[in-house]
């Protein structure tokens, strides 16, 4: 079966739905409703007549209509029984939230689940998962309330995450920073569907532009190598590996029952498959931000434009440290910029427009650099604190970026005023960073993916 039933189901049964707002089954049902899901929803609870104004059923076997997706949110001791009922109902897609299996040493239960899946031809995500999110189809089966975990708006990043805790905390944070998600997939113990299945699916998904991956272990190394190599040719994959130390590997085993394996092997695997390796979660989404929003660069020659000399110096250092190149603008470009800037501006690389720069000056300088063939990427530093920069800077940058001549990467640092304008730029598809070193590391990742 296609995995579409997990992300585009026409009907969902929530097994373990509850009238108690503190129960996971209640939260999942409410999240599905609050997200604006348009399909049919069937709460399953043998002790309830109605839940959240929906008719409740004692079992999936009591439902006459076809069910595309079943979400199992009952204690482990009941999960196997209801999975069997899903099989009899001919439900092909099951998402098992329930925990208490091989991650705590309950291997026998795993074997029972595998036997049921095989017998009925069921595909399953889980057990021991947070849930899944598809921002484009308004599907939200995550078991954390929406008031506590901010969901990202619809975008191009898909996040495959073996850990529910890593997924929930990170998604909450990046959603407030303006990241847009296509899909979030928590896959837990990966008793059936695993990272390879999701990579294959997302590789063909038109709504996914960049794939982020948090791994604790890989079920099938050979298949992972084949799938990742194929998918990374279509779109970037950025991965972070959990359990790179001996102690971390032991923690992985008790978390999702995965064998972490040697980190050196994983580094080699990432290199062979052109997967971008992120050292930490911050890098994972820093890289995702630029690969999601920026166009493909033609080269790695960077022109820095700034209104703060110190920031220009820091950016220059970062370019050198990351083995990128400083662009050398043409003589003609230099002359045109010089005619349109103040006498205290420095016209080289970096171009330092100083503290008296206006929005109009930025417009002229960026425009000239866009048309200079010696420049591949523009690293644009805009410190909003200087008095002659107005809110119209957002429109200027957005208009120039829309020409799609070359990537424009923005760095801007500050408080509420700056953050407001940064968010507006992000919403217009321009990758923004707080510090020069983060921006340059992201540019490096982008260049490594597209140019090597």
| Predicted local distance difference test score (pLDDT) of residue 107 | 84
Q: What is the mean pLDDT of residues 443-450?
A: 96
Mean pLDDT of 389-412: 95
Domain span at 215: 149-293
More confident residue, 291 or 452: 291
Q: 245 and 309: one domain? A: no
Number of domains in the chain: 3
pLDDT at 145 over 60: yes
pLDDT of residue 244: 60
CATH number at residue 61: 3.40.50.720
**Which residue, 29, 31, 23, is CA-closest to 42?**
29
What's the pLDDT at 254?
A: 47
Give the pLDDT mean for 367-388.
95
Asked if the structure places residue 59 within a domain, the reply is yes
Does the pLDDT of residue 246 top 70, yes or no? no
Residue 257 has pLDDT above 80, yes or no: no
Whether the per-residue pLDDT at 260 is higher than 50: the answer is no
Residues 117 and 80 occupy one common structural domain? yes
pLDDT at 259: 44
CA 357 – CA 384 distance, rounded (Å): 11
- Band (pLDDT 50/70/90 cuts) for residue 446 is very high
Q: How far is residue 392's CA from residue 379's CA, in Å, rounded to a whole number?
A: 19
Assigned domain for 339 exists: yes
Model confidence at 245, pLDDT cuts 50, 70, 90, reads: low
> According to the model, what pLDDT value does residue 243 have?
66
Q: Name residue 210's beta-bridge partners.
A: 157
Residue 36: inside a domain: yes
| 350 or 178: which leads in pLDDT | 350
Confidence category of residue 261, pLDDT binned at 50, 70, 90: low
- pLDDT, tens digit, for every residue of 70-104? 999 999 999 999 999 999 999 999 999 998 887 88
Same domain, 110 and 154: no
- Region of poorest pLDDT, from 107-111, 203-207, 252-256: 252-256
End residue of a domain, out of 260, 293, 326: 293
Interval 285-292 mean pLDDT: 95
Q: Is residue 143 part of a domain?
A: no
In a domain, 144, yes or no: no
391 contacts: CB under 8 Å, gap ≥ 6: 421
Query: Looking at the structure, do residues 312 and 270 belong to the same domain, yes or no?
Result: no
Instruction: Tell me, yes or no, whether 87 and 179 share the same domain.
Output: no
Average pLDDT over residues 238-247: 74
Asked if residue 119 and residue 194 are part of one domain, the reply reads no
Residue 84 resides in a domain: yes
Q: Which of 270, 293, 316 lies at the terminal end of a domain, its last residue? A: 293
For residues 248 and 181, the model is more confident at 181
Model confidence at 403: pLDDT above 60: yes
Question: What average pLDDT does the structure give for the chain?
Answer: 92
Quick one: pLDDT at residue 217? 81
Q: pLDDT value at position 242? A: 82
Q: Which residue has the tokens 């839940």?
A: 51
Residue 124 lies in a domain: yes
pLDDT at 105: 80
Same domain, 48 and 77: yes
Kindly tell me if the per-residue pLDDT of 230 is higher than 60: yes
Q: Are residue 263 and residue 344 in the same domain, yes or no?
A: no
Asked if residue 90 and residue 22 are part of one domain, the reply reads yes
> Residues 446, 304: one domain?
yes
Last residue of one domain, picked from the residues 129, 160, 194: 129
**134 inside domain:** no
What's the rounded mean pLDDT across residues 102-131?
A: 92
- 113 shares its domain with 243: no
What percent of the chain lies above the pLDDT cut of 70?
96
Has residue 358 got a pLDDT over 60? yes
Same domain, 310 and 221: no
């Amino acid at each position: 079966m296609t995995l579409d039933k997990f992300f585009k189901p026409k009907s969902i049964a929530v097994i373990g739905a509850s009238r108690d707002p503190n129960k996971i089954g209640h939260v999942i049902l409410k999240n599905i409703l609050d997200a604006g899901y348009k399909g049919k929803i069937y709460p399953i609870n043998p002790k309830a007549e109605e839940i959240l104004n929906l008719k409740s059923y004692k079992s999936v076997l009591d439902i006459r209509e076809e069910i595309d997706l079943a979400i199992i949110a009952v204690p482990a001791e009941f999960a196997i029984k209801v999975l069997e009922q899903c099989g009899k109902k001919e439900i092909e897609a099951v998402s098992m939230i329930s925990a208490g299996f091989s991650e705590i040493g309950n291997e026998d239960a795993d074997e029972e689940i595998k036997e049921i899946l095989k017998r009925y031809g069921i595909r399953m995500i889980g057990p021991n998962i947070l849930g899944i999110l598809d921002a484009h189809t308004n599907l939200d089966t995550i078991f954390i309330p929406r008031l506590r975990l901010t969901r990202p708006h619809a975008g191009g990043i898909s996040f495959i995450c073996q850990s529910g805790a890593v997924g929930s905390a990170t998604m909450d944070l990046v959603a407030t920073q303006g990241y847009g998600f296509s899909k979030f997939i928590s896959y837990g113990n990966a008793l059936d569907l695993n990272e390879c299945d999701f990579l294959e699916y997302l590789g063909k998904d038109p709504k996914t532009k960049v794939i982020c991956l948090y791994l604790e272990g890989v079920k099938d190394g050979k298949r992972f190598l084949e799938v990742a190599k194929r998918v990374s040719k279509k779109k970037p994959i950025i991965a972070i590996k959990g359990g790179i130390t001996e102690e971390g590997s032991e923690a992985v085993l008790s978390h999702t029952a995965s064998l972490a394996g040697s980190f050196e092997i994983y580094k080699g695997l990432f290199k062979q498959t052109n997967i971008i390796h992120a050292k930490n979660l911050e890098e994972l989404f820093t890289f995702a931000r630029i690969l999601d929003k920026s166009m493909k660069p033609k080269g790695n020659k960077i022109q820095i434009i700034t209104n703060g000399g110190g920031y220009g110096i820091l950016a220059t250092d970062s370019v050198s440290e990351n083995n990128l190149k400083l662009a050398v603008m043409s003589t003609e470009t230099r002359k045109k910029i010089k005619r349109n800037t103040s006498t205290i501006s420095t016209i080289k690389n970096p171009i330092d427009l100083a503290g008296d720069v206006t929005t109009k000056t930025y417009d002229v300088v960026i425009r000239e650099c866009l048309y200079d063939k010696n420049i591949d990427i523009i690293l644009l530093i805009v410190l909003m604190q200087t008095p002659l920069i107005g809110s119209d800077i957002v429109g200027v940058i957005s208009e120039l970026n829309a020409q799609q001549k070359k990537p424009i990467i923005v760095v801007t640092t500050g408080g509420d005023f700056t953050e407001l304008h940064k968010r507006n730029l992000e919403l217009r598809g321009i990758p923004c960073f707080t510090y020069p070193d983060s921006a340059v590391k992201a540019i490096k990742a982008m260049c490594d993916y597209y140019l090597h």
